[in-house]
């Protein structure tokens, strides 16, 4: 667990963090979000001690970070930044092996680890290991950045707008890959973004910041359903009820009664889809419900407009 406890940080006379308190539970993705300049990157850098607080505490597993030797602390923390920050004169394999090399791992170990990680992030190990960063697309470089952060198998990952420089389509792919990777690895992640859709997609918890302060710390559905003040309401936007539907799965709201389902209905929705997708599909047909199918295309039941409306209304009433 990582805790921010009334953390204050100045740059000269500018008070960038004004008493920031929030908790990052183990094995979860906590997203820091807020307008430009609100203190997200500053907060991240206090965790791996690229910066030191002027007041308050940052603790990892109950220990103030300043009680760790910097190398010991950073060994347990992977850091991913926008545009990946790969070293241009090193191959992909050597970039991934950077931290293990500093930790004294031998060449064979580093090569095996790099190939395994390339496999894990979905790049063909044998064609990518010897490429240079300039031979990668933005999305590929970002994946290698994630692999590099994972190389020493740290329990904690700090990700500062990791997909910020990637176009929207590739960005969604990277987000989905990150979500499935995280399901396997269960790292303790602090993920910075200023894209609310990205936050809602990847977060277990969201910490909304403004001007060096935490405005609200909540699960995404809670933030969207009950923004705590005018700023939070404005930030999550007028389509927050729709965004919130993106957090709910069809499988949790469907009816298993197949008697009203016409098997020749062309429009259906996978059980794994979100209620937001289901709503979009229902709106495109004359009926007020559509069949739900499994991965093998078998009909499992149906999802109705009424069930979606009830799910949306359940928390979006403020
Ligand atoms: N090295 C620095 N020297 C002086 N001021 C700084 C420095 N780094 C950041 N700041 C200021 O501190 C505040 C917080 O900066 P920070 O980089 O944490 O914001 P951010 O939330 O990450 O913003 P963005 O979304 O634009 O990345 C800003 O007002 C910024 O101008
Ligand atoms: Mg930043």
The CATH code belonging to domain 2-244 is 3.40.50.300
pLDDT digit string, tens, across residues 261-313 = 765 667 899 999 999 999 999 999 988 999 999 999 999 999 999 999 998 87
pLDDT of 164 above 70? yes
**Ligand 1 pocket list (CB less than 6 A):** 11, 14, 16, 36-42, 194
Q: What is the pTM of this model?
A: 0.88
- Bridge partners of 189? 29, 157
Residues 191 and 180: their CA atoms lie apart, in Å, by 15
Here the tokens at position 22 are: 């929030």
Average pLDDT over residues 193-204: 93
Cα of 40 vs centre of ligand 2, distance in Å, is 6
Residues 93 and 41: their CA atoms lie apart, in Å, by 28
pLDDT at 13: 96
Residue 244 has what DSSP assignment?
H
Instruction: Report the 10 Å Cβ neighbour count for 178.
Output: 25
Residue with tokens 């599909």: 281
Domain residues of the chain, as ranges?
2-244, 247-313
Q: Which fold has domain 247-313?
A: CBS domain Like (3.90.1280)
pLDDT digit string, tens, across residues 49-93 = 999 999 999 999 999 999 999 988 998 999 988 776 889 999 999
Cα of 276 vs centre of ligand 1, distance in Å, is 35
Cα of 200 vs centre of ligand 2, distance in Å, is 18
Mean of all residue pLDDT scores within the chain? 91
CA of 45, closest atom in ligand 1: 18
pLDDT digit string, tens, across residues 83-124 = 768 899 999 999 999 888 988 899 999 999 999 999 888 899
Higher-scoring residue by pLDDT: 169, 114: 114
Q: Ligand 1 pocket test: which of 42, 45, 50 has the largest number of ligand atoms within 8 Å of its C-beta? A: 42
Residues 110 and 96: their CA atoms lie apart, in Å, by 8
Here the tokens at position 314 are: 């359940």
At residue 156 the predicted structure's pLDDT band, cuts being 50, 70 and 90, is: very high
pLDDT of 256 above 60? yes
Which residue is closest in CA terms to ligand 1's atom 9?
A: 42
Which residue is closest in CA terms to ligand 1's atom 27?
A: 36
Sheet of strand 29-33, all strands in order from the earlier edge strand to the far edge: 77-81, 156-160, 188-193, 29-33, 205-210, 213-218
């Amino acid at each position: 667990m990582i805790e921010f406890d009334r953390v204050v940080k100045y740059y000269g006379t500018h008070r960038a963090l004004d008493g920031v308190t929030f908790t990052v539970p183990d094995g979860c993705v906590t997203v820091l979000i807020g307008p430009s300049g609100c203190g997200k990157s500053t907060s991240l850098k206090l965790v791996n001690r690229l910066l030191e607080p002027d007041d308050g505490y940052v603790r990892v597993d109950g220990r103030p970070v300043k009680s760790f030797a910097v190398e010991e602390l950073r060994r347990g923390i992977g850091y991913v930044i926008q545009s990946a920050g790969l070293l241009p004169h090193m191959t992909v394999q050597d970039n991934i092996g950077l931290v293990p090399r500093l930790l004294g791992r031998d060449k064979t170990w580093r090569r095996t680890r790099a190939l395994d990680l390339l496999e894990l992030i979905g790049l063909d190990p044998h064609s990518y290991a010897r490429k240079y960063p300039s031979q990668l697309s933005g999305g590929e470089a970002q994946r290698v950045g994630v692999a590099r952060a994972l190389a020493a198998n740290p329990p904690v990952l700090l990700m500062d707008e990791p997909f910020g420089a990637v176009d929207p389509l590739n960005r969604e792919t990277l987000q989905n890959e990150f979500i499935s990777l995280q399901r396997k690895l269960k790292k303790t992640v602090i993920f910075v973004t200023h894209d609310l859709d990205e936050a809602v997609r990847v977060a277990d918890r969201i910490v909304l910041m403004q001007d060096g302060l935490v405005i609200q710390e909540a699960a995404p559905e809670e933030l969207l359903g009950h923004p705590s003040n005018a700023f939070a309401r404005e930030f999550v936007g007028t389509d927050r009820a729709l965004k919130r539907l993106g957090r709910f799965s069809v499988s949790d709201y469907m009816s298993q009664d197949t008697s009203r389902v016409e098997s020749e209905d062309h429009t259906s929705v996978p059980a794994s889809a979100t209620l937001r997708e289901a709503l979009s599909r229902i709106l495109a047909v004359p009926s007020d419900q559509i069949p739900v199918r499994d991965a093998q295309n078998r009909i499992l039941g149906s999802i109705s407009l009424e069930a979606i409306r009830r799910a949306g209304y359940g928390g979006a009433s403020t």
